[in-house]
Structure 1
Amino acid sequence: MAQRVTAWVGWVWFAAFAILVSGLFTLIAGAVAVFSPKTVVSWTPDGIAVVDVSTWGWVHLVLGALLLLVGFALFSGSGWARVTAIVLVILNLLAQFVSLPVTPWWSLVAIALDLVILWALTVHGDEVARANR
């Protein structure tokens, strides 16, 4: 029995565009962290925390570039692109949690966007392959 493509396939196209945007902003955030001062001082209730952001900047640069690549690959509807996108979005989600003390507002926006992307790819991701047949 052939499964039909529903209008929910639009969520996967949204996820692909959102991954492109998220990848671009992650790339920019990584570049800013790499080329900015090497440490960030954060005030906590327990005292002062000094965070070296250059290493995380490189992580964000690589992750942002990979997100851009997989975002473009998602438009093909291939299964490997969807699985790779899910893995990279989960890694980006974790990286944003780690970056939360340094860039709280952007990290919260990125976390929310990553959760919507994950939902779209896991619930409706297989419809893209059917739509491209």
Structure 2
Amino acid sequence: MTATPTQAAYTARQGWATGLTAFAAVMLLLVGLLDIFRGIMAIAEDDVFLTTSNYVFEFDLTGWGWVHLVLGVVAVIVSMGLFKTATWARVTGVAIAGLVIIANFLSLPYYPVWSVVMITISGFIIWALCVVDRGNLFRPPEERSTRGM
């Protein structure tokens, strides 16, 4: 039995949605784990990080460690929800990735290369979670409205 063009497109879109959600879940899990390790490093030993004088957003490194540790723990929890394709996890994942971007921007002078890497990965997470229209995606093609398509 051959699939109709509509069924084939539907199957292809389901594959993309599943793949992008899995990508975002894995990347958010990695970002969370790396943020946890970064937080522990900053809390345990302040001299691991480079310090810059006269930085506008100058904070105590132990404080930054706690910020990164908390964001990392929440990111790991949200990534588990993404593996189950929960809607709450998708929305929260975008918010957490945004907060990770902000935290890494503010801590840029302390660990510049790593902050840029984390900002980039978090940007990909937001893209992966936002790019697929899941509202129409999992309904069969005959049940989807033609509006907005």
The alignment's TM-score, normalised by the length of structure 2, stands at 0.74
Match of 1:121 among 107, 124, 129: 129
Q: CA deviation at 1:8?
A: 1.8
- Whether the 8 Å CA contact 1:16–1:72 is kept in 2: the answer is yes
| Alpha-carbon displacement from aligned partner over 1:104-130 (angstroms, at most 9, x marks no partner) | 011010011011110010112627x83
Structure 2 matches for 1:95-114, cutoff 5 A? 95-114=103-122
1-side partners of 2:101 and 2:133: how far apart?
A: 19
Does the alignment pair 1:17 with 2:26? yes
Match of 1:34 among 40, 43, 47: 43
- Whether the 8 Å CA contact 2:29–2:76 is kept in 1: the answer is yes
What is the letter of the counterpart of residue 25 of structure 1?
Answer: L
Does the alignment pair 1:4 with 2:10? yes
- Whether the 8 Å CA contact 1:30–1:59 is kept in 2: the answer is yes
2-side partners of 1:76 and 1:130: how far apart?
A: 15
- Whether the 8 Å CA contact 2:28–2:125 is kept in 1: the answer is yes
Does the alignment pair 1:94 with 2:102? yes
Match of 1:73 among 75, 81, 84: 81
SS of alignment partner, residue 4 of structure 1: helix
Q: Which of the pair has more CA radius of gyration?
A: 2
Q: Which moved more, 1:33-42 or 1:77-86?
A: 33-42
| Percent identical | 35
- Whether the 8 Å CA contact 2:50–2:109 is kept in 1: the answer is no
2-side partners of 1:125 and 1:65: how far apart?
A: 28
Structure 1 residues 32 and 125: alpha-carbon distance in aligned structure 2, compared to 1, 3 A threshold: farther
Query: How well do the aligned residues superpose, as a CA RMSD in angstroms?
Result: 2.8
Number of paired residues?
126
2-side partners of 1:85 and 1:97: how far apart?
A: 18
